[in-house]
Structure 1
Amino acid sequence: MTTRWSYILATFVLSFQVNAQAIRQQEPKAPYSYEVEEVVFQNTIDGISLAGTLTYPQKGSDFPAVILISGSGPQDRNSELMNHKPFLVIADHLTKMGIAVLRVDDRGAGESEGDYNKSAMSHFVKDTKSALDFLKTYKKIQSNQIGLIGHSLGGNIAPIVASEREDIAFIVLLAGSGIRGDQLMLLQKAMIERKMGVPEVSVAQAQTNMKGAYDIILNSDGKKEELQKQLNEYFTTKFAGMIPEQQVKTIAEQMSWPWFVDFIKFDPAPVLQKVDCPVLAINGSNDVQVPAEENLQAIEKALIAGGNEDIQTQVLEKLNHLFQESETGLPNEYATIQQTFSPVALEIITDWIEERTK
């Protein structure tokens, strides 16, 4: 899960300053050494248009290609966060290496239509399939060499699409989760609090409190209004006098969003067992939002159980959830780091894709 959403759930009260004027050294500037097209295509099933940017080399044709899938929360095509634009950096690097890249505004963000927080994970799957169908119409793109790169929640969407479509050449999971959503969120919360020096007794109490909320979601029948009411009553009882009433209502509302409910209930293992295309899964050792060891082990186990024989998992030292070189990995460090995306991670991704698209 990305910071703009999950960190609110993980801590409720932690905040940090962002320097809006910061210049990120990795951000590419025009003129570019490759072709850049602003594109619009349709998700005909849901009746919305999606907007994005397609980049590809100036010379040649039959390019392999990737579609970038963002993490949680409505994000623009650059996945911009705290003045970092990681998808722009990734697209720039891959395109210079001969790989076409399509990055898209999430529904309800940028120039795309729709409402993100009224959408389910299944809607994001349909958006990605629509992007795939659109990309396959380009003559310069090699239609049987299109892969998906998903970050965080996008690392769940990519396997779902790959399990349902036979025309996915490969998938790359950047901090994708391998354990059920409620378990991931509890693990995330505990790791963040321990790194912040929260006493163990408080960590344990917080786990109990949040597990109760997630259990309500796990047992819900999909009716948002009823779920929101139950969560509001639960948090009011648990945090009476500790958290303002309006904040309790906001938390209950956000935890009732359809996509978040889906995520809490989502177990990646059965989906991963159906993925038979090559898979690269990488996480940072400092990732406190999708901890590397637990999730990579679960991803690999599920893929092997399904018979997938082209799997590479790797922990990258010192990288955080955004794949920045970091000290603590805590989200309050993200804005202070100049690096947007680790060059080491970029090279690993590029080399792996090139090996599978020769």
Structure 2
Amino acid sequence: MRRRLSGARRVHGPVRGASPAGNDLVKRTSPMIACVALLACGFGAAALAQQSASARKSAAATHPAPLEGDWSGVLQVGETQLHLVLHLSKDTHGEWHAAVDSLDQAVYGMEASKVTRSEDTLRFELTSVGAQFQGKILPDRKMIRGLWEQGGTGLPLRFEKRAAGAEERLTAGSVSKVEGTWQGAIETGNMRMRLQLHLSHDEKGQLTAAVDSLDQGIQGIPASHVTEQAGQVKFELPAFGAEYNGALNAAKNEIAGHWSQNGNLETLDFRRSDKILELRRPQNPAKPYPYKEEEVSFAAGDGKLALAATLTLPQGAGPFPAALLVGGSGPNDRDETIAGHKPFLVLADFLTKRGIAVLRYDKRGIAKSTGNYADATMENFTQDAQAAFGYLKSRKEVDVKRLGIIGHSEGGILGALVATRSNDLNWMVLLATPATTGERTLLRQSELIARAGGLAEEQITRSLEFDRKAYRAVREEKDAAALERRLRTLVEQSGLGAAMPPAALQAQIRMMSSPWFREFLDYDPAPALEKLKCPVLALSGDRDLQVDSTENVPLLRKAYESSGNKDFMLVEIEGVNHLFQKAQSGSPALYGAIEETIAPEILTAVGNWVSKHTTQ
């Protein structure tokens, strides 16, 4: 289910708003102000030791090229100006290289990757901060005019060629041998929290540091008390009560040390690299698959839309039992991608290997599907699921007498609605499906996540009061523009306006002003659940903070018993979260840090139940 956006933490430079977190790595604090918040990723924290200007001049002289040299640009971010210097060079193999300095933030030598240059176009990426630039080279080669993109935001940027010898505001060099970008990971149990450390110096020559928590999507966490003495590196993250102590090796390419937080001590070694550590998703299947995979599309929305999908078919002639996967709320693709995980890819692979055909689709307006996601209603999404179900029935490889739906979170709600409109649904699996109204689900979700993150009861009470006022406004204001204004006023009065990046705040307000949210807020899934007459398996996790099992499991049981359905199984699984990963806290902020996509026991339980109910 969707969750209310939390406030961002204070950072240096453009940042992404921090998600609420448990106490495994990042402890949630009261909302803090974000700086230069129009961009989603902070390069204010990023730092690499600057290549000396003399070395660049030498390379340019040895290998002359029209674009080699230094270029100046000004990035306008709201009311803030960031002065950038772009260094371009070409090596003896003809490969282009680029580095960027952010002068106002005292960050130098950010190495670019994928630097390409055609006759009139220059493009490069800064992977350490999630940014890219593409510009047109003007004929006189004195200006490159283009777009700087970061975190889904595009800002115009032009670079002008600097005169030879111009060194304004450039650093004289690094003040410490540890300056640069470093990669490391804290590994404990089934979790791997990837961290990116940026070490640089300020205008006074003092060491500075910031940390990106890559698997939580939190960038630019500022450090304090940063020191390096005789190779001993120390810094603190006061916002999270954490500190690091490590030793630089003789080769100056590794820092071996320990991360301390909340009384816990974890081994954490950093290696000097601008390339982030590989995202481990061991359950993602590798091609070639031992089954058939087909890219398909089908009509929806009165034939005006084309929804793109993947159909996986077991080897053989069929017809096969088949499952339609329906994703939860949010702009989901066919794999229900979230936090680097692809739950529906893993689930489809598991079921198809067991002889079950599976169809999964991109929501309207998402990935390869046409249509407008932002203007869609719950009814639209239900009709899309109906269209997908109809397409699956039309396939000759599918046995229509063994056809079912597997819905996750809101996908279970949509699946139940499809069931009430079709006589061909033979079974259903509900994964973390709520049985309360949207408002009740969201309020409980906010409360659980806040409490797991360590907020005081008084803070939780104030937060829930704000939520209720916002939901009241959604009901009362029928005009979308008027509602946006009212929500923005509520945010400003509450003080949350200073705690969210403007882009994140605007996205949250637009979501709450959407037709889907208006409908979802008051929708009660219980009546549709009570009409389910087919066999039903409903699974919930006791560490699900988004759809509370203690509240929903009794309501699900009541719905099935009211329906007179004799073939239902309701199971509350210990130790799993909303995604059915084995988890300690259940915090959504830790989904990405957990390498497991779906607990194998869950896959087996679903597979066994479906096989039992589809065996001829």
Q: Please confirm whether the aligned pair reaches a TM-score higher than 0.5, indicating the same fold.
A: yes
1:11 aligns with 2:6: yes
Counterpart AA for 1:317: E
Deviations 1:83-105, CA, capped at 9 Å, x for gaps? 21111100000001111100111
Name the CA distance, whole Å, in 2 between partners of 1:161 and 1:183. Answer: 23
User: Secondary structure at the residue paired with 1:77?
Assistant: coil
List gaps (5 residues or longer) in structure 2: 9-17, 20-212, 216-275
2:471 alignment counterpart: 214
1:226 alignment counterpart: 482
- Relative to the length of structure 2, the TM-score reads 0.55
Name the CA distance, whole Å, in 1 between partners of 2:350 and 2:606. Answer: 10
In structure 2, the CA distance between the partners of 1:248 and 1:90, relative to structure 1 (3 Å rule), is: closer
Give the Å deviation of 1:145.
1.7
Name the CA distance, whole Å, in 2 between partners of 1:312 and 1:207. Answer: 34
Match of 1:190 among 447, 458, 470: 447
8 Å CA contact 1:163, 1:276 repeated in 2: no
Name the CA distance, whole Å, in 1 between partners of 2:383 and 2:277. Answer: 34
Deviations 1:173-211, CA, capped at 9 Å, x for gaps? 111111111111110111111111111111111111111
1:296 aligns with 2:553: yes
Match of 1:90 among 340, 347, 366: 347
In structure 2, the CA distance between the partners of 1:22 and 1:301, relative to structure 1 (3 Å rule), is: same
1:142 alignment counterpart: 399
Name the CA distance, whole Å, in 2 between partners of 1:241 and 1:68. Answer: 38
Match of 1:267 among 524, 529, 537: 524
1:21 alignment counterpart: 278
Greater Cα offset, 22-31 or 246-255 = 246-255
8 Å CA contact 2:491, 2:497 repeated in 1: no
In structure 2, the CA distance between the partners of 1:240 and 1:55, relative to structure 1 (3 Å rule), is: closer
In structure 2, the CA distance between the partners of 1:227 and 1:166, relative to structure 1 (3 Å rule), is: farther
Give the alignment of 1:11-160 within 5 angstroms.
11-13=6-8, 14-15=18-19, 17-18=214-215, 21-43=278-300, 45=302, 47-160=304-417
1:168 alignment counterpart: 425
In structure 2, the CA distance between the partners of 1:311 and 1:240, relative to structure 1 (3 Å rule), is: closer
1:239 alignment counterpart: 495
Name the CA distance, whole Å, in 2 between partners of 1:241 and 1:357. Answer: 53
In structure 2, the CA distance between the partners of 1:230 and 1:319, relative to structure 1 (3 Å rule), is: same
Match of 2:566 among 300, 306, 309: 309
- Relative to the length of structure 1, the TM-score reads 0.93
User: Secondary structure at the residue paired with 2:550?
Assistant: helix
User: Secondary structure at the residue paired with 1:102?
Assistant: strand
User: Secondary structure at the residue paired with 2:282?
Assistant: coil
User: Secondary structure at the residue paired with 2:360?
Assistant: strand
List gaps (5 residues or longer) in structure 1: none
8 Å CA contact 1:321, 1:329 repeated in 2: yes
Name the CA distance, whole Å, in 2 between partners of 1:10 and 1:76. Answer: 21
User: Secondary structure at the residue paired with 1:38?
Assistant: strand
Deviations 1:202-237, CA, capped at 9 Å, x for gaps? 11111111111122224454x433332332233233
In structure 2, the CA distance between the partners of 1:34 and 1:250, relative to structure 1 (3 Å rule), is: closer
Counterpart AA for 2:519: D
Counterpart AA for 1:169: N
Give the Å deviation of 1:315.
1.0
Give the Å deviation of 1:240.
6.6
1:253 aligns with 2:510: yes
2:256 alignment counterpart: none
In structure 2, the CA distance between the partners of 1:27 and 1:185, relative to structure 1 (3 Å rule), is: same
Name the CA distance, whole Å, in 1 between partners of 2:526 and 2:475. Answer: 17
Name the CA distance, whole Å, in 2 between partners of 1:102 and 1:20. Answer: 32
User: Secondary structure at the residue paired with 2:374?
Assistant: helix
Name the CA distance, whole Å, in 2 between partners of 1:89 and 1:229. Answer: 42
Name the CA distance, whole Å, in 2 between partners of 1:51 and 1:20. Answer: 32
Cα root mean square deviation, aligned: 1.8
Name the CA distance, whole Å, in 1 between partners of 2:299 and 2:395. Answer: 15
Give the Å deviation of 1:40.
1.0
Name the CA distance, whole Å, in 1 between partners of 2:413 and 2:552. Answer: 12
Greater Cα offset, 234-243 or 133-142 = 234-243
Give the Å deviation of 1:118.
1.1
8 Å CA contact 2:7, 2:499 repeated in 1: no
Give the Å deviation of 1:239.
2.6
Give the Å deviation of 1:310.
1.8
Deviations 1:58-77, CA, capped at 9 Å, x for gaps? 12412111111111111211
Name the CA distance, whole Å, in 2 between partners of 1:201 and 1:49. Answer: 48
* Structure 1 or 2: more strand by fraction: 2
1:340 alignment counterpart: 597
1:329 alignment counterpart: 586
Counterpart AA for 1:173: L
* Structure 1 or 2: more helix by fraction: 1
Give the Å deviation of 1:300.
1.8
User: Secondary structure at the residue paired with 2:312?
Assistant: strand
Counterpart AA for 2:564: G
Counterpart AA for 1:17: L
Name the CA distance, whole Å, in 2 between partners of 1:245 and 1:29. Answer: 38
Flag the structure with larger Rg: 2
1:352 aligns with 2:609: yes
The number of residue pairs the alignment matches comes to 352
In structure 2, the CA distance between the partners of 1:297 and 1:108, relative to structure 1 (3 Å rule), is: same
8 Å CA contact 1:273, 1:303 repeated in 2: yes
Greater Cα offset, 324-333 or 302-311 = 302-311
In structure 2, the CA distance between the partners of 1:67 and 1:190, relative to structure 1 (3 Å rule), is: same
